Structure 1
Amino acid sequence: MSSESLPTLRWGIIATGQISSWFVRDLSLSRPDAKARHTIAAIGSSSQGKGEAFVKQWIPDVLPAPKVYAGYEQVYNHPDVDIIYIGTPHAFHKQNCLAAIAAGKHVLCEKAFTLNARDAKEVFAAAENKGVFVMEALWTRFFPLVQQLQRLVHEENVIGSVHRVFADLGLDQDFASLGPDSRLRNPALGAGTLLDICIYSLTWGLLALDAKVGEEAEKPVIKAVQTLFDSIDVASTVVLYYPSTGRQAICTSTAMFKTPDLFCRIEGTNGYITVEGVSASRPSAFTIYAKDEGTTEGKRYTVANPGFGLFWEADAIAHDIAAGRKESAVMPWAETIRVMEMMDEARRQGGARFPVDD
């Protein structure tokens, strides 16, 4: 595909935190094998100065430079913006999505998509009514490495029938030292590890156990416990149990310990797979160990990643929108709702509450 025929998206960026900095840097990468073209047209920040500093620090060489605004409304309504990327804290996702949709813009919203499944359904209903594309930014699902792993597990059955998965994401975040208004401490902002990082552990459990997504996938039984600190979870353990087959995934998160690079193990009747990377959100390799080989040497797979890996979801969205699709086949609306319902149930059992639950 020539560069002239590549689909193009013009982005408006909402919020200027860490995840937004990763996203704009990936959009601006020079990639000879890029599957789409991306331009950053506008950036909305909490202040003009903060927005300008964001551009200067992270994308100083992008030309033409994006327009910077103090606030978000001008980004939502910017005539040169096709799609809005939302990188605000969880609690603001719903209102940010609804505002962008009302302006007729497509939306890519960071995970967790909303605070609960009820709010996610409201956003998708608005998107359907307006006829725009919306997707939760579960970027990990779009890594070629992850999709290769899924093919090997579910189509080639390289380890036979998968019966158990362990997946963990832990960070040493020292919650006690954080102020009460921190997005990691404030329940009103969706604080705690479940929505922030356990969503990735859950994703690995689902990727390994489910060949399908959304409405076509089985809904596992949820068993969950949480360790609470000032009403938010500093550790969560969620078990996904499939009564039809007995297979299960143990998905964990903690704010008290950094997970080692090997963060996931997938066990099957004919072998097992280990997955590694700096985080469960950003895998870099997996290794397949066959039961009948009688050796500790496995077959290792890697895929080059010149940036953070966020550009793969952006490229996929560009193709979806160019084709007139309103949701992604990789991360459809029903899959976001399915996972949000799992996390709602995990909080119900574990005890972590948000003000919007009342």
Structure 2
Amino acid sequence: MTYDKPTVRWGIVATGLISSWFVKDIVLERSDAKANHFVQAIGSSSVEKGQNFVKEHLPGKSPTIYGSYQELYTDPNVDIIYIGTPHAFHKQNALNSIAHGKHVLCEKAFTLNAAETREVLNAAKEKGVYIMEAMWTRHFPLVRTLQKLLHKDKVIGEIQRTFCDFAMDMKIAEKGPESRLKNPALGAGTLLDIGIYSLTWSIIGLEPPLGMGEKPLTAAPEKPKILAAQTLSDEIDISTSIILHYADGRQGIATSNAVVKSSSPSFCRIEGTEGVVFVYGRGPSMPDYFTVRKLNGEETKYEFEKPGMGFFWEADAVAVDVAAGRTESTIMPWAETLRVMEILDEARRQGGARFPQDPRN
């Protein structure tokens, strides 16, 4: 039986750093590719900006370049739209894409708050299109392997605690009020930018995976009790600490900081009754390898080949899902996106960070 890989034509909204990483990754030649990816069109604030983006990041390629997002939404040759704008624009970008019948891969954090997430998911459901939050880390083979070892093979017994930190000096004090990293109206602060990764690793360590991509999620997993605190500066959080408490006693500690850079090569520690796992890498968004250390001192290192940065794995997942007629992912389903956003909302409610777009109670 011959398996034909699906072919998808991407439309790219925005020409910033994250979009450059994404397009360079999906056009890489890979022996393990699950789909054929084509960058069909680029939507930018100007044609000149789009041309410069293609020249720098897609040499030899010739996608259609639009000087507006609206033209991209209406392009009949675009199958799926990738949204790489700042958090505050995700909702409207997604709604506009959905209104024109396009499938969507939207960068994390999916929106600014849970209310916006519900609005977008309801629109996608009504239109019958596919949409997924681009939490790319969950699609890494490293993460999928780790989840199997932890939750199916029980290599360190019953999981008890996780600790994850994402800290990087963002030079916040040097930013102007209009900066994406300084303006609350743009979703500024550590929580939505990097704290979401610390939270994600806590979930990866503490909870069984969502079907390992084998079956749809019918209901959101347990929502743990949240204890959170934030340090605010100019109305944005420059540090956030979240403690997750589960009914059976499992505990997760997730932290983020924009003032210092962590010096530890291991950003995540997962403790079980029979051992501990350490995850290493440039940061929680881009893990490189992990080790499993048993109580008897035996240690095993797990390394993974990763051409490029790893965005192609989430792109492959979207292509396969769409080809199968699904409207949501089994790895990052809508219920999980909403649950994570609700946890982030609760952390901000307790910590004090607010966005102008938040619902007024």
Deviation (angstroms), 1:212: 4.3
CA distance in 2, matches of 1:237, 1:134: 30
| SS of residue paired to 1:355 | coil
Please state whether the residue corresponding to 1:5 is helix, strand or coil.
coil
1:115 maps onto 2:112 in alignment: yes
The amino acid across from 1:17 in the alignment is: G
CA apart distance, 1:50: 1.0
Q: What secondary structure, in the 3-state scheme, does the structure 1 residue paired with 2:342 have?
A: helix
The residue that corresponds to 1:133 in the other structure is 130
SS at match of 2:176: coil
Q: In structure 1, the residue corresponding to 2:181 is in which secondary structure?
A: coil
Cα distance, 1:256 vs structure 2: 1.1
Hey, what's the Cα distance between the residues in 1 that align with 2:80 and 2:281?
30
1:227 corresponds to: 231
1:315 and 2:319 equivalent? no
Q: Please list, as runs of the form range in 1=range in 2, the aligned pairs for 1:179-194 lying within 5 A after superposition.
A: 179-194=176-191
Q: Whole-Å Cα distance in 1 between the matches of residues 167 and 159 of structure 2?
A: 24
Deviations 1:57-85 (A, max 9, x none): 011122xx101111101111111100000
Match of 1:253 in 2: 256
Q: Match of 1:342?
A: 343
Tell me, yes or no, if the aligned pair for 2:244 and 2:252 is still in contact at 8 Å: yes
CA contact (8 A) 2:220 2:339 kept: no
Check conservation: 2:14, 2:85, Cα contact below 8 A: yes
Does residue 238 (structure 1) correspond to residue 238 (structure 2)? The answer is no
Q: Does residue 211 in structure 1 map to residue 208 in structure 2?
A: yes
Deviation digits for residues 243-293 of structure 1 (CA, Å, limit 9, x no counterpart): 2x11110000000122233100000000000001111011110000001x2
2:288 is equivalent to residue 284 of structure 1: yes
Percent identity reads 58
* Structural mapping, 1:58-73, within 5 Å: 58-62=57-61, 65-73=62-70
> 3-state DSSP class of the match of 2:240?
strand
Deviation sequence 1:126-153 (CA, Å, 0-9, x none): 0011000000000000001100000000
Partner of 2:77: 80
User: Contact conserved, 2:220 with 2:336, CA < 8 A, in 1?
Assistant: no
Change in Cα spacing, 1:97 to 1:216, as seen in structure 2 (3 Å) is closer
RMSD: 1.2
Matched with 1:43 is 42
TM-score normalised to structure 2 length:
0.95
Cα distance in 2 for partners of 1:103, 1:261 equals 45
Q: So what's the TM-score if we normalise by structure 1?
A: 0.96
For 2:30, the equivalent position in structure 1 comes to 31
Poorly superposed stretches of 4+, deviation over 3 Å: none
3-state SS, counterpart of residue 349 of structure 2: helix
Alignment length (residue pairs) = 351
Structure 1 residue ranges without an equivalent (≥5): none
Q: CA deviation at 1:174?
A: 1.1
Structure 1 residue 47, shift from structure 2 partner: 1.4
Residue 346 of structure 1: CA displacement? 0.2
Residue 216 of structure 1 and its aligned partner are, at CA, apart by 4.3
SS of the counterpart of 1:219?
Answer: coil
Query: Secondary structure at the residue paired with 2:111?
Result: coil
Give the aligned residue type for 1:262.
S
Question: Which residue type is aligned with residue 254 of structure 1?
Answer: N
Structure 1 residue 32, shift from structure 2 partner: 1.8
Q: Secondary structure at the match of 1:309?
A: coil
